[in-house]
Amino acid sequence: MEYVLLLLAAILTDNFVFTKFMGIEQSFVSSEKASTALKGGGVVTAVSLVGGGLAYLLYRFVLSPLEISFLTLPVGVLLTTAVVAGLEAAAAKNSALEEMLRAQFPMLTTNAVILGAVFLAIQQDLGIGAAFLLFLGAGIGYTLAALAFSSIRERLCHCTPPAAFAGIPIMITAAALAVMAFSGFAGLHFL
């Protein structure tokens, strides 16, 4: 039960995109349509689970016992880029998959959700299982945010805001309203 609550908290109340603004630029840029948002979210979830999971395991069993935990950041960056490169190589063999994912790859390595989740797990000193659930929740939360932003962008295509607000300002303002709506989940108190 506790684990279910942890997962729900990572998705809803402590959503990385909405409450910490991590990966907000990626979820904005890569969410032209609901389908691209879903694909991007799936890839981020996969990288977060594998890359983030590896980084956390390395921190728990190598870096922390050796007292060189300040190296977590370079190690985490290396591992996530390695996982992204591996995914890219795996996708290269399947042309349909490659085409589907090509747009997502440049944004993946600079996605703060993955590293943010690793550092949050370290900060809260989570166990291995709980940490993996946090990484899963971070990925699902990112997908949710990207989906929300894709719908917002579709709606914004059909409206004409004042000239001063045209373009990015109205998008940011709309995102702020979405964030405000999402903060309603804060009343749930899972943990």
Partner 1 sequence: MLLKTKLKSSDKLSALQMLALCPALAVTTTLSRSLAISGALLVSLTLSAVLVSVLRKRISVKLRVPVYLLLSSFSVTMVYLIMRAVFPASVMALGIYLPVLAVSCVMIMRLETFSACNTPGPAALDGLITGAEFSVIMLGCGFIRELLGTGRLFADPFGQGGLKIFPAAPVSFLAQPAGALLLIGAGMAVFQYIQIRSEKKAAAELETV
- Give me the residues that bind partner 1 (CB under 8 A), please: 18-25, 28-29, 70-74, 76-78, 81, 85, 106, 109-112, 115-116, 119-120, 123, 163-173, 175-177, 179-180, 183
Tokens of 146: 């990207």
Residue 113 CB, nearest approach to partner 1 (Å): 9
Residue 109 CB, nearest approach to partner 1 (Å): 6
Please name the amino acid found at residue 7.
L
Q: Select from 131, 123, 147 the least CA-distant residue to 7.
A: 131
Residue 61 CB, nearest approach to partner 1 (Å): 20
The residue (of 1 and 164) whose beta carbon lies closer to partner 1 is 164
The residue (of 123 and 160) whose beta carbon lies closer to partner 1 is 123
Q: Select from 148, 149, 147, 130 the least CA-distant residue to 52.
A: 130
The residue (of 7 and 22) whose beta carbon lies closer to partner 1 is 22
CA 155/CA 138 separation, integer angstroms: 26
Residue with tokens 């729900």: 8
